[in-house]
Amino acid sequence: MWLYGKIANARNALYEKGLFKSFSLGAPAISIGNITAGGTGKTPLVAFVAEILAERGEKVCILTRGYGRENANQRVLVSDGEKILADVRAGGDEPLELANKLPGKAIIIVADANRVAAANWARDEFGVTAFVLDDAFQHRRAKRDLDIVTIDATNPFGGGKNFLREPLENLKRAGAIVITCANLIENIESLIAQIAKYNSDCPIFTVENKIADLIELENVHAKAQSSQRPKTEDQRPFLAFCALGNPDNFFEQLKQEGFNLVSTKKFSDHHFYTQKDIANLEGTAKQTGAEMFVTTGKDAVKLKDLSFELPCYIAMSEIIFDDEKKLRDLIAEARTK
């Protein structure tokens, strides 16, 4: 993908020379992005940053492209901060997942490829005072006050389908780097040292993933406060499935936390499930002896209208920072620029 990097560098040069223009969004803006294609664990960090800004009294809007939705050129108001207003096909799976994570917190979610136009609309329509840009490290048309770049510890520099979107030297633009899934590799210090070579002045944070709860699919959609959670210690057999950019991280996390996985199934990122997919999963479960399914919050929003013979549980994850206070301080500083 060397040609991709050459094109990215040429485009970046045009912005740096002022031949391409960046536009202010009219309010503080924090970008969460990455330098590789594929999943790097951005969505939990987007939610984290939005919540911090909301806690500080900001009227927050998350701007996202909404990959995988039916009409990428249409502006869709996914959430008005109180209610979810779009379905998953119109809004996209990650925006719907964010809307489920952030109910009633006055956080607006808009799916639009044109972040600048969407920001202007959101300010006029809702009085937005702060923006979080989802997957926007390469979207230089929108000015931002802090660029946070996520790097997946298990595949930091791309490979296979997860190629580099631009050369690693461009990490020099980052204001903060967050290494996700740090608990899934052995030598995190070595990776930190490698990344620091490209931006020695940038703070580097590490994040561990943890499964905070396990909720039945029907209770997730009913917004229930409790569920009959199975205990992983009893070693009942699970079939895990997901449609993520890096599905192996999810499966490895489950294994680390004691789940008895007798089978796993990967679907392509942003895959929309059908009842036939569920029938196939049920067939695999019978063949392998699985008694339950487990999947992710991103997948849950695409399973709402499908039926399961076996119980299907959603692994609700949380992220744990090595220095959360320092990251919070960076976000607060960006808010006042």
| 271-293 tens-digit pLDDT | 999 999 999 999 999 999 999 99
Task: Using the predicted structure, report yes or no on whether residue 138 has a pLDDT greater than 60.
Answer: yes
Q: What is the pLDDT confidence band of residue 57, given thresholds at 50, 70 and 90?
A: very high
Residues 148 and 228 both lie in one domain = no
Task: Output the pLDDT for position 198.
Answer: 96
Beta bridge partners of 216: 313
- pLDDT at site 131: 97
Q: What is the CATH number of the domain that holds 40?
A: 3.40.50
- Reply yes or no on whether the pLDDT at 248 is more than 60: yes
pLDDT band at residue 15 under the 50/70/90 scheme:
confident
pLDDT band at 228 (very low <50, low <70, confident <90, very high): low
Spatial CA neighbour of 29 closest among 156, 130, 103: 130
Name the more confident of 240 and 162: 240
Distance CA 76, CA 64 (A): 10
What's the pLDDT band for 219 if we cut at 50, 70, 90? Answer: confident
Angle between helical axes of 42-55 and 324-335 (0-180°, round to 10): 60
Same domain, 275 and 226: yes
Span of 26-30, 204-208, 224-228, 312-316 with lowest mean pLDDT: 224-228
Q: What is the mean pLDDT of the chain?
A: 91
Looking at the structure, tell me whether residues 167 and 42 fall in a common domain. yes
Task: Tally helices (H) and strands (E) across the chain.
Answer: 11, 12
Task: Tell me: do 52 and 133 sit in the same domain.
Answer: yes
Q: Are residues 87 and 186 in the same domain?
A: yes
The span from the CA of 128 to the CA of 247, in Å, is: 35
| Per-residue pLDDT, 9 | 85
Q: Residue 213 has which token pair?
A: 């709860």
Residue 233 pLDDT? 52
Least confident among 67-76, 160-169, 255-264: 160-169
Q: What's the rounded mean pLDDT across residues 146-156? A: 96
Rounded Cα distance, 326 and 202, in Å: 12
| In a shared domain, residues 101 and 171 | yes
Tokens of 336: 């006042």
Rounded to an integer, the average pLDDT of 186-207 is 96
Residues 140 and 67 occupy one common structural domain: yes
Residues 215-234, mean pLDDT to the nearest whole number = 66
**Structural domain total, the chain:** 2
Asked if 133 and 246 sit in the same domain, the reply is no
Residues 299 and 181 in one domain: no
Which two tokens mark 329?
């301080």
Say what the pLDDT of residue 14 is: 87
pLDDT(1) > 60: no
Q: How far apart are CA 263 and CA 285, in angstroms?
A: 8
Shared domain check, 215 and 203:
no
> What pLDDT band is residue 38 in, cutting at 50, 70 and 90?
confident
Contact predicate 10/131, CB 8 Å: no
Question: 284: buried, middle or exposed (CB in 10 Å: 19+, 13-18, 0-12)?
Answer: middle
**Residue 227 or residue 148, greater confidence:** 148
C-alpha to C-alpha distance for 180 and 72, rounded to whole angstroms: 28
Neighbours of 267 (CB within 10 A): 18
Q: Determine the average pLDDT of the residues in 246-260.
A: 94
Percent of the chain beyond pLDDT 70? 94
Please tell me whether residues 166 and 218 are part of one structural domain: no
Residue 139 has pLDDT above 60, yes or no: yes
Least confident of 43-57, 73-87, 129-143, 157-171: 157-171
d(CA 296, CA 307): 17
pLDDT over threshold 90, residue 220:
no
Pairing of β 107-111 and β 60-64: parallel
Domain that holds residue 285: 211-318
101 vs 226, residue with greater confidence: 101
33 and 131 belong to one structural domain: yes
